[in-house]
């Protein structure tokens, strides 16, 4: 350890000098020891340098989470395949990773450490699943596209999320109570039930997406737009709405009311309906739409034409349809 005089500070400061040879050229570097006039602190800083553990001696890792996230976000081939809502959902988790672990080396990420982080989100399983999924996506991207030697993906099989309970289709009495709900909840409910789409996609629909007896619907998960028939019930309801902006549920002329605001209003209204309404969510209206289509005698292909879901998901939701109604529709067609 040596001391050097700093004229700009008018004081002497301790330094630790490192010397090495590179390509037959002798080099040296000084590390200032910020001892703050504390002898014990100075002693600790000195021995950190002697043992090579000082932060000033650490070379920044190239394989950091920050570098990976920045590369992923700037990769046009990746971004063009994702819907805006999907990119926004990934951004939230990536920002969280950047804030806590941005400068950490990805190679030091372990599966037990990731499991421990997810355990802290045990009361929010959907959030934990999304976080694990984001970690997995970044890990696979770094391995496949950046050629980083990271080893096995620590998030593998950790993103499997299943709701604590399945979404239940709304009962008839709850649908009948809709006129008592706030306007935004009523509009959202009619859009979800009429289009069979996910709540967020339905809530963000514009007036321009409706064209008489047809409508243009965006599949929120895949981002694709497709044309489908607009049922008279929904068409007649929309005709009664004042046009307050581009969107049916308008925040202002150019922006929609967000899903969170509508969902919050829905939960407040649900409380007024009593304990019997507690199990039901806005997602339950999407399931009700599929159940109604099935009970009306629609084939899986016809239901897919409305909802754009996979055959497996249609079959899954079809299980909630009333067997008596289904059998009557079948027997009536045979007659």
CA distance 118 to 125: 9
Q: State the pLDDT at residue 164.
A: 47
C-alpha distances in angstroms, 113 versus 106, 117, 253, 301? 12, 6, 47, 45
Tell me the average pLDDT across 200-206. 91
Rounded CA-CA distance 210/215 in Å is 4
Of 76, 63, 58, the closest CA to residue 18 belongs to 58
* 4 backbone dihedrals φ, ψ, rounded to 5°: -135, 150
pLDDT in tens, 146-160: 999 998 999 998 887
**Of 291, 294, 282, which is closest to residue 327 (Cα–Cα)?**
294
Token representation of residue 233: 């019930």
Residue 326 token pair: 């289904």
pLDDT in tens, 273-306: 999 999 999 999 998 998 888 888 888 888 888 8
Q: What angle, rounded to 10 degrees, do the helices at 84-101 and 65-73 form?
A: 160
CA 209 – CA 287 distance, rounded (Å): 22
């Amino acid at each position: 350890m040596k001391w050097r005089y700093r004229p700009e500070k008018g004081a002497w400061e301790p330094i630790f000098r490192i010397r090495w040879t590179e390509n037959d050229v002798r080099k040296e570097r000084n590390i200032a020891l910020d001892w703050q006039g504390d002898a014990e602190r100075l002693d600790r800083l000195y021995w950190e340098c002697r043992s090579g553990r000082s932060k000033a001696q650490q070379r920044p890792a190239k394989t950091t989470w920050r570098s990976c996230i920045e590369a992923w976000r700037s990769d046009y081939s990746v971004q063009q395949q994702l819907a805006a809502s999907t990119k926004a959902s990934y951004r939230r988790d990536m920002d969280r990773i950047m804030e806590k672990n941005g400068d950490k080396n990805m190679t030091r990420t372990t599966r037990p450490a990731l499991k421990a982080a997810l355990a802290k989100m045990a009361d929010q399983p959907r959030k934990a699943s999304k976080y694990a999924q984001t970690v997995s996506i970044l890990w696979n991207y770094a391995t496949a596209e950046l050629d980083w030697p990271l080893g096995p993906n620590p998030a593998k099989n950790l993103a499997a999320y299943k709701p604590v309970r399945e979404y239940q289709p709304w009962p008839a009495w709850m649908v009948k109570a809709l006129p008592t709900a706030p306007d935004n909840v009523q509009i959202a409910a009619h859009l979800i039930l009429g289009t069979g789409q996910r709540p967020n996609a339905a809530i963000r629909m514009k007036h321009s997406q409706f064209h008489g007896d047809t409508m243009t619907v965006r599949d929120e998960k895949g981002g694709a737009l497709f044309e489908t028939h607009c049922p008279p019930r929904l068409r007649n309801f929309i005709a009664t709405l004042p046009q307050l902006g581009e969107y049916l549920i308008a925040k202002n002329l150019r922006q929609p009311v967000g899903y969170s605001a509508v969902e919050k209003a829905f939960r407040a209204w649900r409380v007024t309906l009593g304990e019997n309404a507690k199990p039901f969510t806005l997602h339950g209206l999407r399931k009700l739409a599929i159940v109604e289509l099935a009970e009306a005698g629609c084939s899986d292909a016809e239901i897919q034409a409305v909802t754009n879901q996979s055959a497996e998901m249609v079959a899954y939701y079809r299980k909630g349809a009333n067997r008596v109604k289904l059998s009557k529709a079948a027997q009536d067609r045979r007659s």
